[in-house]
Amino acid sequence: MIMSTVHRFIGKPDDYNWENTPEKAYNVPGGPVNGALGRYPISDQDGKDGIPPNFHMRYFHIAAGGCSAYDQHFHDHGVMILHGKARAVIDGNEFMLNPYDILYIAPNEVHQLFAVGDEPMGFLCVIDPKARAVEK
């Protein structure tokens, strides 16, 4: 049985971190994305008996001047900018985003997020792990 879990915030304004959420290299098929790291506060690790929760909540930190991967997936994303400024490019359309702005990325839309300005940018991303598993 999956048990409820609390991951307390233990970071600082410039270092978002939660208990029991190790930092992960943000990897894509070609290798890690330069200047990007991730933490997965709600993920497969919370399904201790091998059953993942119905959604994953992930945090990504993008260094100043860096970007996320240029991606396209079968699953949709819910994204909330936590800190910094971002430029999102979705199917060729550009959107400027500020802290607390929320973005929905529909399935199969090509997307990429860029940190804008001299500060790093961080965002939460929620996905359906079952839909993601179908892609693999």
Specify the pLDDT at position 46: 62
Per-residue model confidence as pLDDT tens digits over 20-35: 888 887 766 655 576 7
The model's pTM is 0.85
- Where does the pLDDT of residue 36 fall: very low under 50, low under 70, confident under 90, or very high at 90 and above? confident
In the chain, what are the domains?
Answer: 24-135 (2.60.120.10)
User: Which phi and psi angles does 133 have, rounded to 5°?
Assistant: -65, -30
Give the pair of three-digit tokens for residue 129. Answer: 């792990």
Per-residue model confidence as pLDDT tens digits over 42-56: 887 666 555 567 888
Give the CA distances from residue 119 to residues 14, 65, 78, 108, 123, in Å, rounded to whole numbers and listed in that order: 9, 8, 22, 30, 13
User: Which phi and psi angles does 132 have, rounded to 5°?
Assistant: -65, -40
Specify the pLDDT at position 43: 81
